[in-house]
């Protein structure tokens, strides 16, 4: 019986699973608290306080929506098949609207902690993100030349000089396409903001990165 192809989640050190759970938990808390506030406002004689509760409750419910979508995105990323090395990439990836985003290779520089902890601080993050310089072979660099890379649970990290493939993360997970082999007449401009998958082909390890500070809480 043939083994199933590895997924992003098999090689990312548990990052996508951790981020998905975190976003799902936050969305659930906001939804429950918002629903309670709306219920209290609905069962109370209308006035200033019920109106304020209704506004806050509605805001919390609306705030749960993007978090739930982000949780679904990380789940889709975790479940996506690990793209083969460029020299072996023969399968046709999915595209939308007749266009494609080509994978690019890049060299990373020395990383530094996103939020360096202070010695003796009462609270310290066990898994802190790092800012990593990214120099692509051609075209505009994602994040203006640096990405925020999420820390893996196994302490594996990118090292200065590592060569990686950079894949943008779309609404349904990583997007990789070979426009020439698919006969496409349009290739999207390189994505420079959002979320990215960095694949180190020397050992097949995956690192998830972002340009958004809201992804790092």
Strand partners, 188: none
Q: Is a pLDDT exceeding 90 seen at residue 107?
A: yes
As beta bridge partners, residue 163 has 107
DSSP at 122? S
**Model confidence over 197-211: pLDDT tens digits?**
999 988 889 999 999
In this structure, how many other beta carbons lie within 10 angstroms of the beta carbon of residue 189?
Answer: 9
User: For the ranges 17-31, 52-66, 98-112, 129-143, which has the lowest average pLDDT?
Assistant: 98-112
Give 112: exposed, middle or buried? Use CB within 10 Å, 0-12, 13-18, 19+.
exposed
Residues facing 173 on adjacent strands: 170
pTM of the predicted structure, to 2 decimals: 0.78
Distance, in Å, from the CA atom of 5 to the CA atom of 8, rounded to the nearest integer, reads: 10
> Cα separation of 198 and 206, whole Å?
6
**Separation of alpha carbons 158 and 20, rounded Å:** 22
| Percent of the chain topping pLDDT 90 | 47
Angle between helices 48-79 and 15-43 in degrees, nearest 10: 160
Q: How many CA atoms lie within 13 A of 158 on its CB side?
A: 36
Q: Are 56 and 152 in contact (CB under 8 A)?
A: no
pLDDT tens track for 162-204: 999 998 887 655 655 433 333 334 445 677 888 999 999 888 8
Residue labelled with tokens 């007749």: 98
Q: Which two tokens stand for residue 191?
A: 């994505």
> Do 68 and 23 touch, CB atoms closer than 8 A?
yes
């Amino acid at each position: 019986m043939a083994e199933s192809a590895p997924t992003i989640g098999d090689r990312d050190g548990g990052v996508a699973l951790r981020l998905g759970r975190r976003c799902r938990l936050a969305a659930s808390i906001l939804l429950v608290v918002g629903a309670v506030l709306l219920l209290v406002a609905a069962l109370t004689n209308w006035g200033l306080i019920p109106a304020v509760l209704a506004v806050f409750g509605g805001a919390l419910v609306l705030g749960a929506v993007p978090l739930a979508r982000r949780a679904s995105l990380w789940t889709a990323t975790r479940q996506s098949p690990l793209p083969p090395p460029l020299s072996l990439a023969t399968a046709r990836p999915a595209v939308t609207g007749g266009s494609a985003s080509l994978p690019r290779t890049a060299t990373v520089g020395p990383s530094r902690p996103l939020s360096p902890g202070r010695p003796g601080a009462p609270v310290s993050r066990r898994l802190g993100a790092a800012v990593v310089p990214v120099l692509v072979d051609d075209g505009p660099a994602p994040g203006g030349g640096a990405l925020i890379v999420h820390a893996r649970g196994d302490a594996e990290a990118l090292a200065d000089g590592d060569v990686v493939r950079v894949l943008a993360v779309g609404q349904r997970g990583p997007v990789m396409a070979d426009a020439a082999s698919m006969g496409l007449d349009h290739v999207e401009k390189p994505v420079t903001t959002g979320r990215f998958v960095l694949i180190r082909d020397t050992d097949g390890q995956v690192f998830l990165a972002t340009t958004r500070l809201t992804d790092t809480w």
